[in-house]
Amino acid sequence: QNAELFSKSVHAKVFVQMGIPGCATCHDNHEILATSDQMLGLGDHAVCARCHSAGDKGGATATGMRQFIDSLNADYEKAHAVLTKAENAGMPVNQALFELNEGKTALVKARAAIHSFNVHLVKKEVEPGLAVSEKAYSRGIGALDELQFRRKGLAVSVLIILGVVVGLVLKIREIEGRKPPQ
């Protein structure tokens, strides 16, 4: 899919005209590196910065795509963290965690879409993931709120039960104190 997206991009035509290879230009041929989001944009480790700057269209495109990827990644991680916290506290969030997988899938698709060098295509892939992540985060917060409600309810119940037990003990002592000696 990445090669197909690249072949339809502006870069494919430019690279052919310049006589430079497609994938190896950005990903290197001999320096095998694990891909990462840092390769995208204009930062220190960004391959886009080799040819583009903040002042040109390519630089703006690279920066825009990176912002969408970072936004989805941050929202996904935030939702995953709150759901994991709720799950570790014993709250039933399995369904929300399962649904959050769609956010991870959207992130994978968006990372593939960067090979089109089209901000709008990346945004199109990111948007469903943002929606899923937002919903999952809300469900996680709801589960943590429910946990607090349950804890407060338990504390109130324990206090009521202790009050009843103390009252019964006092009443029993009072009744035993009224019995005539035998």
Residue 64 backbone zone (phi > 0: left; psi -120 to 50: alpha; other: beta):
alpha
For 113-151, write each residue's pLDDT tens digit: 988 889 999 999 999 999 999 999 999 999 999 999 999
Task: Say how far apart CA 99 and CA 27 lie, in whole Å.
Answer: 32
Instruction: Tell me the whole-structure pTM to 2 decimals.
Output: 0.79
Backbone angles phi, psi at 129, to 5 degrees: -65, -35
CA distance 122 to 139: 26
Residue type, 76: Y
Q: Which residues contact 156 (CB under 8 A, 6 or more apart)?
A: none
Residues of the chain with pLDDT under 50: none
